Amino acid sequence: MAGLYVHIPFCAKKCSYCDFHFSTRFGAYREEMILSIAKEIKQRRGEALNPLSSIYFGGGTPSLLTIEETSLLLKTIEEHYQRNKNIEVTLEVNPEDISKEKLKSWLNLGVNRLSIGLQSFKKEDLKWMNRGHTDKDALSCVSFAREVGFTNISVDLMYGLPGLSQEEWKNHIDLVLDSGITHISAYCLTVEKGTLLSNEIKKGNISVPEDDAIESQYNTLTSQLKNSGFEQYEVSNFAYNKLYSQHNSSYWKGVNYIGVGPSAHSFKEGYRRWNIANNPAYIRSLKMNCPYYEEEFLSQKDLWNELFLTGFRTRWGVLKGKISDLGGFTAEEASLLEGYIKNHKIKDLKEAYVLTDNGFLFADAIAQSFFRVQ
Ligand SMILES: C[S@@+](CC[C@H](N)C(=O)[O-])C[C@H]1O[C@@H](n2cnc3c(N)ncnc32)[C@H](O)[C@@H]1O
Ligand code: SF4
């Protein structure tokens, strides 16, 4: 198994909360960027030791690409990489970019999974977020996608938003459940440094909810989705009928992936690399055949910390075999584990240690308590 991530570093607008890598002024170098990404795809073909099981166009805003641009990138991949027959091909799309015509073309190109960034159905939220879509777009885009023939549709929702009541949040979940989607990624708003949102909070113009309000929105989310037959297979990800994101599951299970495009990360056992997060410098470096990434070989300590951080976020947990491969627990760690099991935060299964429903709420903190510093 191997995954290929393609980062499209363009956005039409800057959302107030977002610190992903993108530019809103890309008109002058748009074509060069697509050609540079295609060049990187071609150059790195030898890194995929196995046929690809997933391709993921993320961003930024991949749905801003024309059909010709998307097709060029997909054709480059087809020419240079072996692919599994049932490969998952995901495109992240923003609701304002969705039209029946575009949807049909994506389907014809081989895109078989959409991840739609709805975020909220509330007019006021979409306004302070500076989103490019309206509450009406949010309601209609999923049904368009289904009408055209997409059966594997994920939506992104956000909670812990300023002024979002419990009732409104419950209603947002009901709306996505009624729309017939098969996967939900629900993220608690994080205030990232340097964003417009963080400045507004500093100035006192916006405030985020208290921790207990966030906790009760999280509880509403997990119970409502569970009651509707969705499985929480990762802290923020819920799937119906086992329609997990194959691509993201690879990240969490430590499978190799290649990330192309500015800022994209790549991983293979014991090694990770990340591309430069600067669009003109990325294009220039590819043109001149200069290095455009940094890399790191992972120490035993890094591998251990990564194992707990990614494992505890998923339903598959931390595999006992992998713990043994890394030398097993120290006496102190074993007693920490014992404590979590007694407090019903961790379950001791045959092949793995897995967080309980309650433990999931504290996934990152529990994982970090197992971190090694040297
Ligand atoms: C990389 S973004 C790109 C998706 C796409 N461009 C869009 O806007 O819908 C992926 C998802 O991360 C989530 N996200 C981004 N910034 C966030 C933040 N500060 N806090 C919580 N979730 C965030 C949003 O739900 C978003 O849909
Ligand atoms: S949330 Fe999506 S559309 Fe908004 S700035 Fe971030 S990547 Fe771009």
* Ligand 1 close to Cβ of residue 158 (< 6 A): yes
DSSP letter (8 states) at residue 20? S
192 lines ligand 2 (CB under 6 A): no
- Predicted structure pTM score: 0.95
Residue 59 Cβ inside 6 Å of ligand 2? The answer reads yes
Pocket mutation for ligand 2, best pick of 13, 16, 18, 128 (most atoms within 8 Å of C-beta): 18
Euclidean distance between CA atoms 95 and 268, whole angstroms: 34
State which of 130, 176, 187, 189 you would mutate to test the pocket of ligand 1, scoring each by most atoms of that ligand within 8 A of its C-beta.
187
Which tens digit of pLDDT belongs to each residue from 71-81?
999 999 999 99
Chain-wide mean pLDDT for the chain? 96
Question: pLDDT tens-digit profile of 226-266?
Answer: 999 999 999 999 999 999 999 998 888 878 999 999 999 99
Q: Hey, what domains does the chain have and what are their CATH numbers?
A: 2-252 (3.20.20.70), 304-369 (no CATH)
pLDDT at 139 (0 to 100): 85
Kindly state the average pLDDT of the residues 89-114. Answer: 97
Q: What is the pLDDT of residue 81?
A: 97
Q: For residue 89, give the H/E element and its range.
A: strand 83-93
Angle between helices 300-311 and 246-253 (to 10 degrees): 140
Q: What is the pLDDT of residue 368?
A: 97
Q: What is the pLDDT of residues 115-167, one digit of tens each?
A: 999 999 999 999 999 999 999 999 899 999 999 999 999 999 999 999 999 99
Helix (H, G, I), strand (E, B) or coil at 18: coil
Return the amino acid letter for 85: K
Is 91:114 a contact under the CB 8 Å cutoff?
yes
Distance, in Å, from the CA atom of 258 to the CA atom of 139, rounded to the nearest integer, reads 34
Q: E-assigned strands of 146-254? A: 153-159, 183-188, 230-234, 237-240
